[in-house]
Chain A
Amino acid sequence: MSNTLIICEKPSAAQHIAEALNSNKEVKKGIKYGMPYFKITTKDGDAIVCSAIGHFYQIAPKYRYNRRNYPIYDLAWKPKYLVERGKERQKKWIKAIKEFADGSDKFVDACDYDVEGSLIGYSILKYACKNSDKRARRMKYSTLTKKELLESYENSNPSLNYSLINAGISRHELDWIYGINLSVALTESVRKYSKKYFTLSTGRVQGPTLRFIINREKEILTFVPSPYWIIKAYAEINGENFEVEYEVDKLKKKSFADEVVQQSRGQTGRIEKLDQKNFHLYPPTPFDTTSLQIEAYRYFRFSPRQTLNISQRLYLNALISYPRTSSQKLPSSIGFSAILNKLSEMLEYQNHTKKILSLKKLSPYEGKKSDPAHPAIYPTGVIPSKKLETKDKKLFDLIIRRFLATFGENGLKQINKVSIRVADKTFYLRGLRILKKGWIEYYKPFAKFEENLLPILAVGENVKFVRVKMEERITKPPPRYNPSSIVKLMEGERIGTKTTRADILDILYRRGYVREDRIIATPLAFKINEVLTKYCPSITEVSFTRELEDMMSNIELGEGKKEVVIIRAIEKLKEILGNLHEKEIEIGKELFDVIRKIKLDNNSLNKRCPKCNSVLYIIRSKKTKKRFIGCSGNREKKCNFSLPLPQKGTLKLLDRYCKKCGFQLIQTKIKDKKPMVTCSNCFINEKRKSTVRQTVGSELQKVGNKLTARNLI
């Protein structure tokens, strides 16, 4: 009998796969060097199902290097535990896999069928299983349901998908070459100028994304609001008042708005035309990753990263199909009826599934986008075995309703437009009626259409204008991007991938380049963008990144070579880094000035110095390394005002003030402890008082002692 080693991407996936493929009574679970594994029997004999925990191998410089000597182009794949700190667990797991590999003669890669999953499986097979990638079979599945896993095992591909693997390798190498070298260049320029270390970063996707945000921020910063007027008019029809719209929605001249009001107020208009048009309301397309992220943000305010994490959990519980997909298509092979029948077991969907199942033909409304690896996101029909957390439940409900909606018939809406002429002006009365709900019924509460029903009217009928007024409005600046709209923009511009876009945004937040949900660019972001635009504009331009993305997509489709992409990228990077290197000190100065200003702003108190009225801020003494509140007038005004600060923990200046003395409060946060809020001013006052008390007390003590001594004598 032969032994098979099945490698999965995550432990929970390994458990599902082991349970699905096992033909014995029960799955034997074991732990080797801390790694859980499953011993099963398949039709091919005994098998071990084990798993990774993310990437075990990563790209790193081939030789030992000093970060200061950038650029580095000589790269190699190395175990992650050798490259990153705190990856000891991975070392043990690799050891366990190596030992299992020694006793195996067949290998199966059962990692997720996408670029990252293919790379995880390939690197383990190649480096931990002694080049077994060449003889490994590949399972391809989109859900963790028993039926699909079994089919996927039985019909597994005889070899790995090297197109996906090569696309993954080139993406990792490119990201490293660009991300690390450019980030080191920025960080080093500041270090060389200031002798201080600040982590700064940019990359081939980060650069253009930041530029989008900056451009929007500039539009907002330089926005001049201007007035315009709207006409609000009400017409009386059959004793009921209806709001009517003036033919021009925004009037840019006050005098013209005045004229409209004067000519129509209290007048009787005449219905000149009745327009009625019917429109089909097509069902929504099935969810791909980005549309799910957008919809989840719209209804639940989940960030793209949150949506990815929740959908990943739902997938690992076999509730939904693989959530990282670009596809908007649902093939019939997933078994529509079976899924709908299973969903019927959930009471809230029963009515809908019954209606859909009664249709003659089940064919979902599909979008244009497709993905060779996975279909669109759909519910597997598996009912949650335990109560889902609130957020998971919300997203699961959204995915189910969307899936149901794609099977719905077209909706039909009727738009009515009544043209009313008064003097030489035209007003419109608009109505909306839903004639057929179709899919809208299944997608409630996520699909909403507010009806506005009109009475029966005829051409030539008179209409009395009961109320006409003008309202002054002010133009609004363009809206800020939010996590959902920026991901949508990135997808539209074809930069990043469905999985990396959310990560890129996270990095921008972590670096302090952007803040808040309605994304605001910080001064540091402005400076980084300015420096990059000045010295290496191509890194902030979309065109170059898009060119690389297209080249990588071609590799994924088996139509391009990874070496060509890497060479092209290195050529371009050499040119960019050359410019950066030349102007290192200049760039360092520009960046450091902003960093220093930001640090100073962040550390400045709102309260002024009581002695000299200069700005107070948090300083760390070079001599004692202790931190305290000092006065910025120290040099110029020779002011020596200072207040003590807690020496341990992270300090945060609060927007709250002491009730006793009015001084700004400071929060100190120490890990695993409750945050402490203190007033440095009261602290010093109390200390002074207690020093006085102690001095007076000790003096009295001395007097008392003398008296006692005298008495004793």
Chain B
Amino acid sequence: MEKKCAICDGLDKEFNLCEIHLKAYENLNVGYEDWVKALNNELSMNECLNQILNLQDTGNAIREVATYLLENNTSLTQNE
């Protein structure tokens, strides 16, 4: 049986995520690094995710991945 994405009904591509959520996950990794660099390490991962969730232009797939990570208390850099 084909495995499903942990967030939506899409098919699991890697790390239990479908193509779009995997891309969002990768972009979040890069985005987190950008935030940390911009704010001089003053930001924890959870704070960053919360900040991103509060922004209007955050992509919907990013919102879903961020919410999932916060709810499941999963680290961004950790491979699932």
Cα separation A224 to B52 with both chains bound (whole Å): 7
**Closest Cβ–Cβ distance, residue A472 to chain B (whole Å):** 9
One of A165-173, A215-223, A389-397, A398-406 at the interface? A215-223
Q: Is there a chain B Cβ closer than 8 Å to A134's Cβ?
A: no
In the complex, identify which listed stretch (A72-80, A247-255, A684-692) lies at the interface while the others stay far away. A247-255
**Contact partner, B38, options A221, A224, A254, Cβ 8 Å:** A254
Q: Check if B62 sits within 8 Å of A222, measured CB to CB.
A: yes
**When the two chains form their complex, are residues A225 and B52 in contact, meaning their CB atoms are under 8 A apart?**
yes
Question: CA A324 – CA B55 in complex, angstroms?
Answer: 44
The answer to whether B31 touches A224, judged by C-beta atoms less than 8 angstroms apart, is: yes
* CB of B44 within 8 Å of the partner chain: no
**In the bound complex, do residue A227 and residue B59 qualify as a contact, i.e. CB atoms below 8 Å apart?**
no
Chain B: interface size category: 20 to 34
Contacts of B38 in A (CB 8 A): 226-228, 252-254
Cα separation A597 to B10 with both chains bound (whole Å): 13
Tell me the minimal C-beta distance from A581 to chain B in angstroms.
22
Q: Is A474 interfacial (CB 8 A cutoff)? A: yes
In the complex, are the beta carbons of B39 and A224 less than 8 A apart?
no
Beta-carbon contacts under 8 Å, B18-43 to A: 20, 23-24, 27-28, 30-31, 34-35, 37-40
Q: Is A224 a contact partner of B40 (Cβ separation < 8 A)?
A: no
Nearest residue (CB) in A for B58 is: A225
Query: Closest approach, in angstroms, between the C-beta of A527 and any C-beta of chain B?
Result: 10
The 8 Å CB contact of A222, one of B9, B37, B40, B61, is: B61
B57 contacts chain A at the CB level, 8 A cutoff? yes
Interface residues of A in 238-278 (CB under 8 A from B): 252-255
| In the assembled complex, A87 has its CB within 8 A of some CB on chain B | no
Q: A476 to B60: give the CA distance in the assembly, Å.
A: 14
B27 contact set on A, CB distance < 8 A: 222-224
B40 touches A225 (CB 8 A): no
Most buried by A among B20, B27, B38, B55: B38
Q: Are B39 and A221 in contact (CB under 8 A)?
A: no
Q: Is A477 an interface residue (CB 8 A)?
A: yes
Known: A228-B38, A252-B37, A253-B40. A222 touches B57 (CB 8 A): no
Alpha-carbon distance between A220 and B24 when the two chains are bound, in angstroms: 10
How distant is A99 from chain B, measured CB to nearest CB, in Å? 62
Indicate whether A221 sits within 8 Å of B59 (C-beta atoms), given known contacts A254-B40, A255-B40.
yes
Measured CA separation A475–B20 after assembly (Å): 21
Give every chain A residue within 8 A of B58 (Cβ-Cβ): 223-225
- A224→B40 CA distance, assembly (Å): 18
Chain A 650-670 near chain B by CB (<8 Å), digits 1 or 0? 000000000000000000000
> In the bound complex, what is the Cα–Cα distance between A164 and B23 (angstroms)?
47
Chain A residue numbers with a CB within 8 Å of B60 are 221
Residues from chain B with a CB closer than 8 A to the CB of A593 are 9
Q: How far is the CB of A656 from chain B (nearest CB, A)?
A: 25
Give 15 A-B pairs besides A224-B62, A227-B39, A253-B38 with Cβ atoms closer than 8 angstroms.
A221-B62, A222-B23, A223-B27, A223-B57, A223-B58, A224-B27, A224-B34, A224-B58, A224-B59, A226-B34, A253-B37, A474-B57, A477-B59, A593-B9, A597-B9
Residues of B within 8 A of A (CB): 9, 20, 23-24, 27-28, 30-31, 34-35, 37-40, 52, 55, 57-62
Residues of chain A whose beta carbon lies under 8 Å from any beta carbon of chain B: 218, 220-228, 252-255, 474-477, 593, 597
